[in-house]
Amino acid sequence: MFIFKKIRFVSLLLALALTACSPQDTPAESDASTSGEDKSITLLFNVQSNTIDPHTDVNYTAVRAGIAETLVTIDNDLKLRPALAESWSSVDGQNWTFLIRKGATFHNGKPVDAAAVQASLKRAQELNPSVRNSLHIREMKSDGQVLTLVTEQPDPQLPSSLVHPNTAVLAIESTEGMPVGTGPFQFLSFKPASELNVERNRNYWGGTVRIARAKFAFNEDANARLLAIQAKSADIVYRPPIESFDQLRADPSLTLESLASLRTHQLIYNFNHADLKQEAVRRAFDALIDREAIVSGIMNGQATSAAGPFLAEAPFSPKYTPKAFDLAAARQSFAAAGYQVDNGRVLQDGQPLAFRLLTYQARAELPLIAQLIQANARELGITVDIRLVDNIDEYLAANNDWDLAVYSSITAPRGDASYFLNAAYTPEGALNYAHVHQPELEVLIGKLNAAISEGERNAIAQEAVGYIDKHVLNSYIIHPNHFVVYSNHVKNWVTSKSEYYLLTKDLDIE
């Protein structure tokens, strides 16, 4: 069964006098939830993690596995919901008061109060520059269950920034290998790049946890994930091979869900590379991307063509420049950059061009997209050497021996443009692996961070994204659908658009 849902972008912009909504109703507990001492479930994920510290993990494993929680969450309608913060308010967008949930405890039994949250946020900012750059907190104070945050300037988006898994609340006793959180599941064991095992938190503030134990396993091989769901060795599998969809749909014991996601596949250019610093060269590579072939062929229709980081209908997307696969235009752009074009082949000082392109297997289509770009570049006599790496984020952060990268990231996890623009295009941004430094763009991002009204924020974001589009700072390829297959004995599974919430208290089996 397929479930296709169109993403509805809703504004998360908070009024200057903002108070959070009340918690969602908790579903009535079934008899099975109280008697399922031996209930266990296995979720097989497509990206491996070498750490489960939510303050540094770019894969957000501790939050996805239900160990750690944030002050604020986001639902599938992209609306903010209370979590460890019962409510929040501000009179000016700069001085914020968060009421920390009474009765919540860490897995070690210690109560969650404002001082504990303050200590956790301090740790997150110290360990992760992107958290520090996103929150822009000037001062923190705690008094009982009341946490006061003062930002460097008015920031009406602060509560939505606290949705991000890297801001998850941990007890100060936490270590990189054993996070002590507040979620429905608590840590049992972890094998880096292999599996995380968790057990029910019997004192969970949110109510009864239905599953006694869960295994959160990792395997970047899409075919291995397919075999696991077919062999019943996994109950839930993320991103089975697209070519297996008809087969999975025909299996009456399985449910397949596919819905529009908040993710974008992209081609990253290393701005430390002399050739790729040239806009004309980046424009040439953009013309070598056959987006329509990727959507219809590689993705079997489970995606839409991308012209920018955000879906075209997003209120913060400008009118994008049309993108087309065009070998002649690519040759013209290389010629404009000063390269020779001889019999259709692009040369530099009489020699063919060569580039190293990185990608990874966690998303099975990415190597195929890389191969298509490689084949199209070959038509111009350009060599593209594809290298597969195990952990793309760690590799890009630690190495500079690459020129291009086919990469994927969630670009609008909060229904707002500011997260991605800050992460990908500011000097210390967590996703600025390309070393992009564009002062004019950074000024626009600074204005966006300070803007209050929804209309002003959308207008500035459109200008910033228009700048990225005009100067081809990245090539955005497709917006892939988000798809999951699970056994029919799994109950209460919800495919999260944000991809943040996987193991929940209500997840059950029969």
Per-residue pLDDT averaged across 338-366, rounded? 95
Report how far residue 473's alpha carbon sits from residue 465's, in angstroms, rounded to the nearest whole number: 10
Q: What percent of the chain has pLDDT over 70?
A: 93
Give the other-Cβ count within 10 Å of 304's Cβ. 16
470 to 214, 249, 263, 333, 432: CA distances (angstroms): 47, 42, 21, 14, 18
The 3-state DSSP class for residue 33 equals helix
Q: Which two tokens stand for residue 357?
A: 């392109």
Report how far residue 88's alpha carbon sits from residue 97's, in angstroms, rounded to the nearest whole number: 6
- Residue 5 confidence (pLDDT): 34
- Residue 44 confidence (pLDDT): 98
User: Which is nearest to 87 in space by CA: 155, 10, 169, 18?
Assistant: 18
Segment among 31-40, 324-333, 361-370, 467-476 with least mean pLDDT: 31-40
b vs e for 92-110, b when ≥16 Cβ sit within 10 Å of the residue's Cβ? ebbebbbbbbeebbbbeee
Residues 6+ apart with CB under 8 A from 310: 264, 316, 317, 411, 412, 417, 420, 465
- Residue 373 confidence (pLDDT): 98
Report how far residue 162's alpha carbon sits from residue 164's, in angstroms, rounded to the nearest whole number: 5
Report how far residue 62's alpha carbon sits from residue 52's, in angstroms, rounded to the nearest whole number: 5
286 compared with 496, residue with greater pLDDT: 286
Q: What is the dihedral of CA 455, 461, 463, 467, to 10 degrees?
A: -170
Instruction: Estimate the crossing angle of helix 418-425 against helix 454-470, to 10 degrees.
Output: 40
DSSP for 453-482?
SHHHHHHHHHHHHHHHHHTTSEEEEEEEEE
The pLDDT tens digits for 294-324 are 999 999 999 999 999 998 888 999 999 889 9
Confidence of residue 334 (pLDDT cuts 50, 70, 90): very high
Segment among 126-140, 141-155, 474-488 with least mean pLDDT: 126-140
437 compared with 16, residue with greater pLDDT: 437
The amino acid at 265: H
- Residue 450 confidence (pLDDT): 82
Report how far residue 482's alpha carbon sits from residue 7's, in angstroms, rounded to the nearest whole number: 11
Per-residue pLDDT averaged across 177-200, rounded? 97
Cβ–Cβ under 8 Å, residues 508 and 481? no
Q: Is the pLDDT of residue 33 over 90?
A: no
User: Which is nearest to 84 in space by CA: 183, 203, 155?
Assistant: 183
Q: Spell out the domains of the chain, with CATH numbers in brackets.
A: 263-481 (3.10.105.10)
b vs e for 178-217, b when ≥16 Cβ sit within 10 Å of the residue's Cβ? bbbbbbbbbbeebeeeebbbbbbbeebbbebbbbebbbbb
User: Which is nearest to 20 in space by CA: 77, 76, 100?
Assistant: 100
pTM of structure: 0.77
Cβ–Cβ under 8 Å, residues 284 and 337? yes
Q: Which two tokens stand for residue 204?
A: 């969970």
Confidence of residue 13 (pLDDT cuts 50, 70, 90): very low
Region of 403 please: left (phi>0), alpha (psi -120 to 50) or beta: alpha
Residues 6+ apart with CB under 8 A from 349: none
Segment among 16-20, 171-175, 366-370, 422-426 with least mean pLDDT: 16-20
Q: Round the average pLDDT of the chain to a whole number and report it.
A: 91
DSSP for 366-433?
HHHHHHHHHHHHHTTT-EEEEEE-S-HHHHHHH----SEEEEEEES-TTSSSHHHHHHHHSTT-TT-T
Q: What is the dihedral of CA 398, 403, 406, 411, to 10 degrees?
A: 70
- Residue 7 confidence (pLDDT): 33
Confidence of residue 36 (pLDDT cuts 50, 70, 90): low
- Residue 129 confidence (pLDDT): 86
Q: Which two tokens stand for residue 219?
A: 């395997």
Report how far residue 473's alpha carbon sits from residue 425's, in angstroms, rounded to the nearest whole number: 9
